[in-house]
A = this chain, B = another copy of it.
Amino acid sequence: MPASVLLTDLYELTMLQAYFEQGMNATAVFEFFVRKLPPHRNFLIAAGLDQVLDYLSELGFDAEDLGWLKQSGRFTPSFIASLADLRFTGDVDAMPEGTVCFADEPLLRITAPLREAQLVESRVINLLHYQTLVASKAARAVLAAPAVLLVDFGLRRAHGSEAGLLSARASYLAGFSGTATVEAARRFGIPVYGTMAHSYVEAHPDETAAFERFVRAHPENAVLLIDTYDTERAAHKVVELASRLAAEGLTVKGVRIDSGDLGEHARRVRAILDAAGLTAITIFASGNLDEYRLADLVAQRAPIDGFGVGTRMNTSADAPYLDAAYKLQEYEGKARRKRSEGKATWPGRKQVYRCHDSAGRLGSDMLTLASEQAPGAPLLQPVMRAGRLVTPRPTLTATREHARAELKRLPERLRALEEAEPYLVEISAQVRALAQQLDAQV
């Protein structure tokens, strides 16, 4: 999803002009991290790197961009001219998408000439923040209902087109089975699912006719929405229809329930279908679902084979944003630190080392300087050098596999939907010492 280079905050450009006039363009190191996990989150799933790499690869001002900057009257001609050859020529180190991560840990580090590393701030945050937010929320639904089909249904109330597309991607990455959004299927190769709307049933003179025509139009994939008027009465109509169509070799694949007490309706509908021997017809449920409702329905053993999860997942409704930041950690070889009240950062070019316990579960992490060695494995890996990819990007399928493995390694308490005792992220002695040293200098 290419976005204009002007999809940025004005201050990035005003700073770039000041840097240009001062001839300041030495190497800067910025890191993206989340300061604090929001309520109800015991971990995050890193996501969005792939879109950041697209963005960095395509970074540049075209003639129209430069023309707009000129007519805005805010910038000097020599500064605008200097932007014409701007490309991303820096290094990127990052956690692979799908990695479990925590507060204070850099998910991505950019090392580049100051003007490049600064300019990309707004869009890098915009891309990493949203997908990490949604993948982290979706992973909770996957943990709550691991054995069923989970489908992203959220395009309509996602915050705009890109949120619709990227939440399909982020939720699939985190373990969802697919999405209802066709464009996400085309763009990312995500499996796509769909049933029918109430309007389909309402447009027909009667419900049975609506069902029958739909089965005839989609003989292999008909999932019938049965709650437009009366769920159980509609289930009886499905029984009558399925029996009648069986003679022609036509089958009903499933039914969907979208309102009322989903568990109770599912039990009644299952009984109606089973009594007629229609045990192969699946039950799909949707409507105001999130991980809490899923956990509840799973605990009830509601006979539901799949869920459409929308709005609350792709707006991350109980925590609609992360306290995410992209901060300067080093410039011209010297570590830097923001000390603003409540927003102080750990300075320097950093790395995260992770130790696992004997069962292979996450044990603890340590935030270190990139120059340090620590026990365990480093999570940030080289992704770009001098503006070019170091290795081919993983496929979305491989990333999803990685996320699945990561979720398996979560300690039991962090898998809970309730807030658990936080995972231990130690700050290394060298990082602490560097922070103290910088504070003493100011």
Contacts and interface: CB of A to CB of B under 8 A. Distances in A.
Interface in A353-398: none
A185 B163 CA distance: 21
Interface string A196-213: 111110110000000001
Specify which of A182, A218, A331 lies most central, judged by the most chain B CB atoms within 10 Å of its CB: A182
A91 interface: no
A322 B157 CA distance: 8
Contacts of A311: 321
Contact of A228 (B19, B121, B221, B339): B339
Nearest to A206: B442
Interface in A214-261: 214, 216-218, 221, 227-230, 258-260
Given A18-B213, A260-B342, A9 B194 contact: yes
Contacts of A12: 194, 197
A201 to B, nearest CB: 9
Contacts of A111: none
Interface stretch (A123-131, A293-301, A404-412): A123-131
B157 A218 contact: no
A132 B121 CA distance: 28
B194 A160 contact: no
A415 B15 CA distance: 39
Given A21-B213, A182-B9, A342-B260, A203 B14 contact: no
Contacts of A163: 159-160, 162-163
Contacts of A153: 9
Interface in A14-30: 14-15, 17-19, 21-22, 24, 28, 30
A161 interface: yes
Interface stretch (A269-277, A312-320, A423-431): A312-320
A1 interface: yes
Specify which of A17, A157, A181 lies most central, judged by the most chain B CB atoms within 10 Å of its CB: A157
Nearest to A30: B199
A123 B321 CA distance: 23
A216 to B, nearest CB: 7
B7 A218 contact: no
A10 B341 CA distance: 48
Interface string A135-160: 00000000000000000010111111
Given A161-B3, A327-B199, A180 B217 contact: no
A183 B7 contact: yes
B155 A160 contact: no
A328 B210 CA distance: 15
How many copies of the chain does the oligomer comprise?
2
A197 B121 contact: yes
Contacts of A339: 228-230
Nearest to A180: B9
Contact of A320 (B10, B160, B181, B317): B317
A14 B126 contact: no
Given A3-B161, A126-B155, A197 B15 contact: yes
B192 A10 contact: yes
Interface in A328-359: 328, 331, 336-343
Interface of A: 1, 3-4, 6-15, 17-19, 21-22, 24, 28, 30, 68, 72, 74, 114, 118, 121-123, 125-127, 129-130, 133, 153, 155-167, 180-183, 185-186, 192-200, 202-203, 213-214, 216-218, 221, 227-230, 258-260, 311-312, 314-317, 320-322, 324, 326-328, 331, 336-343, 442
Q: Which 5 A-B pairs have the closest CB atoms?
A: A10-B194, A160-B162, A199-B328, A159-B159, A18-B217
Given A21-B213, A160-B160, 12 more contacts: A4-B183, A6-B182, A10-B194, A12-B194, A12-B197, A123-B161, A126-B158, A130-B160, A157-B321, A160-B166, A228-B339, A229-B339
17 contacts: A7-B161, A8-B183, A9-B155, A14-B196, A14-B214, A17-B218, A18-B218, A22-B213, A72-B185, A126-B158, A126-B160, A130-B157, A130-B158, A159-B160, A260-B340, A311-B321, A315-B315
